[in-house]
Each structure stands twice: as structure tokens, then as C-alpha cells.
Amino acid sequence: MQILVTGAAGFIGFHLTKKLCERGDTVTGVDNLNDYYDPQLKHARLEKLREYRQFEFVKQDIADRVAMEKLFSQHPAMHVVHLAAQAGVRYSLTNPYAYIDSNLVGFGNILENCRQTNVKNLVFASSSSVYGANQTYPFAENHTTDHPVALYGATKKANEMMAHSYAHLYHLPCTGLRFFTVYGPWGRPDMALFKFTENILAGKPIDVFNQGKMARDFTYIDDIIEGVIRAIDHPAKPNEAWDGVNPDSATSYAPYRIFNIGRGHSVELMTFIEIIEKELGMKAHKKMSALQAGDVPQTFADTKNLEDALGYKPKISVEEGVKRFLAWYRDYYSVS
């Protein structure tokens, strides 16, 4: 298949593109290689991807409407996987326009070009951040997502609504994937596991927010990628039983689906830190702090819909996932 992947030099985009190439798909990867975090890591990922003859890279900003029209015209694709976005909750507090430009304007460009070029299937990254102030656990796709606590989550909620309008108006199959705290080799340096590892090895303190009273549904990258690929291979279809009087927000009369992709197991932050300490053989110097603005105390995914519709349940334990990440980290940064 001919697949276009945005954010191909990013953490999830890199792993997805690699997997697609390995199974024989032809992939056009798009990324603007911004400096939100160390661009050298993005370039190192790209070097790995360039080893595949069926991969082609285009440096482009998805918020550039004219450039995106040209891209879709020159690189026609049956499937589009949209992963490019301005990520991070805390960064949105100080750089809101980065989210508006990339996550709203950029996603609008993706949708419209999918329509204009008759793309058969759009799979796009949403986030567990859409659940916002909801405190009914585990988070299920039909729970309310009307109270975002940060702009990042609000933009992802907006993406879901924008996609539904295109599914309704133009019958564009759209599948939104709510990712839960993704981690693993080649991960983002702004994420907790990466920062904890870096600081513990350097003998520096780690920030432990909300006095450690936090929990996350940590989801290993391989589990995320398997879910994405299953969504690519099973485009969204209308739910014939959908009822407008009692609407299911995870499905629609239009070809539209929303899925959580999480481990389905919430891990306490202090337990997570203990796992890292055990694998490193070092104790962390903890700096206890208050809950940060825009953050939530817990995430926890209900994965039943993913299991029922796509036949998959994430399975890598956090102990195994951390072990694999640390092995990569030591190798990549030449740490003994």
C-alpha cells in the first residue's frame, strides 16, 4: 500500500514507518524537524528510515496550506496516518500558537487534502488528554471529553470533531486513536521516563509532581504501533445501530471511530520510579512538587473497544518496557 505518514521523524512516526516498510508498504514521510526537542534525535531516526528503499522523506510544515496541496498532489496515497502535532501539555501554557498552527490549522490541511485526493482512510493521533477533568476510571471512549484542562487536549478534542464532520460530509473514513503515555526506545526527551533516566544517571534530582500522588497508563511503543497498523488495515465503517437519541461518541452513522490505545493498567508514579531505580541500580534524588497547571492526577484506559473491534490488547508490562528503553538509552548515549 501507498501510505503517507506525517510526523515520520517523531517518536511514534519513526516506529510506525519502520514497521510499515518492513512489511512491504511504500511510505512517504513528512516532518518539519522543529526544535521542540533535540533535532539530532529526529535526524538519527531518519537515518534509520532511509535504509529502506520504499521510504521517501519530505521536509514540510503541515500548517503550510500551499505546500501541503503540492505534497498530496505529488505523493498520492491510499492511506494517511496523521501523527504530526505540537505535543506536550506544559509547553502549551507558554507557546499556545504552536498548538493552534500545527494541531488545528495543520489538521485542517490534512483533512481537506484527504478529501481532494480521494484518500481511502485517515488514521489520526488523538490523546488521553482529551479526557481532561473527567475522573471516572478507567477512561472509556464514550465518556465526556467536554472539559479539557490544557490547550493541547482541547486541540485533540477539536481534531476528533473536525474529523467527524469530514466523515459525515464526504464519507472519509476517519479513525482517531487516543494514545496513553507512550514510552520506549527512541522516545521523546520531554517525557518522564527519558528525563528520569537522564537525571538519575547524572546524579541530578528528578521532579516528582503532585507529591508523587499520580498514576499513568504507560503504554509501550510496540503496543501503540500494533494498534495503529490494525486501524490502517480496518478503515472505519458506519455503525448501523447508532442512535442519535442516545449517541455513542466513539462511533457514528458516518465512517468514524475513536479508540483508546493504552495498556489498560494504571501505574503509580512512585512505583514507576522504583522500577527505573531497580533497572539502573541507582536511587533517584526526588524533588517533590505540586501538581502542574494543565496536568491530571491519573490516566487509565478502557481498551474493550480496541479488543472487540480490532482484536488487539496491549500486552507489554511496564517492567519489560522500561528494561527495553534503558537498554536502548545506554547504547544510544554510550552509557555504561
Average pLDDT over residues 161-172: 98
Number of domains present in the structure of the chain: 1
Strand duo 267-268 + 215-216: pairing: antiparallel
Instruction: Say if 306 falls within a structural domain.
Output: yes
Measured between alpha carbons, how far apart are the two ends of the chain, in Å?
Answer: 42
The number of angstroms, rounded, from the C-alpha of 291 to the middle of its chain's C-alpha atoms is 23
pLDDT beyond 90 at 85: yes
Amino acid at 38: D
pLDDT for 207 equals 94
Instruction: Say if 232 falls within a structural domain.
Output: yes
pLDDT beyond 90 at 336: no
pLDDT digits (tens, 9 = 90+) for 267-317: 999 999 999 999 999 999 999 999 988 889 999 999 999 999 999 999 999
Instruction: Say if 27 falls within a structural domain.
Output: yes
Stated pTM of the model: 0.97
Question: Residue 329: which residues within 8 A CB-CB, separation 6 or more?
Answer: 185, 194, 197, 335
pLDDT beyond 90 at 19: yes
CB atoms within 10 A of CB 323: 14
The grid coordinates listed for 19 are 514497521
pLDDT for 230 equals 98
Q: State the Cα–Cα distance between residues 8 and 12, nearest whole angstrom.
A: 8
Question: Residue 322: which residues within 8 A CB-CB, separation 6 or more?
Answer: 183, 193, 272, 275, 276, 279
What are the Cα distances from residue 225, in Å, to 26, 28, 97, 303? 17, 17, 29, 15
Question: Which of 89-93, 118-122, 166-170, 245-249 shows the lowest per-residue confidence on average (mean pLDDT)?
Answer: 89-93
Sign of CA dihedral 93, 98, 102, 104: positive
Instruction: Say if 53 falls within a structural domain.
Output: yes
Instruction: Give the domain range for residue 71.
Output: 2-187+219-264+301-316
The grid coordinates listed for 63 are 500548517
Strand partners, 175: 123, 257
pLDDT digits (tens, 9 = 90+) for 202-226: 999 999 999 999 999 999 999 999 9
Average pLDDT over residues 313-325: 96
What is the average pLDDT score of the chain? 96
Q: State the Cα–Cα distance between residues 176 and 258, nearest whole angstrom.
A: 5
Instruction: Say if 57 falls within a structural domain.
Output: yes
Q: State the Cα–Cα distance between residues 228 and 225, nearest whole angstrom.
A: 5
CATH number of the domain within which 128 lies: 3.40.50.720
pLDDT beyond 80 at 129: yes
Instruction: Say if 162 falls within a structural domain.
Output: yes
Question: Residue 82: which residues within 8 A CB-CB, separation 6 or more?
Answer: 6, 7, 107, 110, 122, 123, 124, 125
Strand partners, 82: 6, 124
pLDDT beyond 80 at 172: yes
- φ, ψ (nearest 5 deg) of residue 51: -75, -15
pLDDT beyond 90 at 200: yes
Instruction: Say if 168 falls within a structural domain.
Output: yes
pLDDT for 88 equals 85
Q: State the Cα–Cα distance between residues 188 and 91, nearest whole angstrom.
A: 14
pLDDT digits (tens, 9 = 90+) for 130-149: 999 999 999 999 999 999 99
pLDDT beyond 90 at 15: yes
What does the angle CA 67 – CA 73 – CA 162 come to, to the nearest 5 degrees? 70
The rounded percent of the chain whose pLDDT value lies above 90 is: 95
Contact 224, 128 (CB under 8 A): no
pLDDT for 325 equals 98
pLDDT beyond 90 at 93: no
Contact 220, 300 (CB under 8 A): no
Q: Is 149 exposed, middle or buried (0-12, 13-18, 19+ CB in 10 A)?
A: middle
Query: Where in the sequence numbering do the catalytic residues fall?
Result: 152
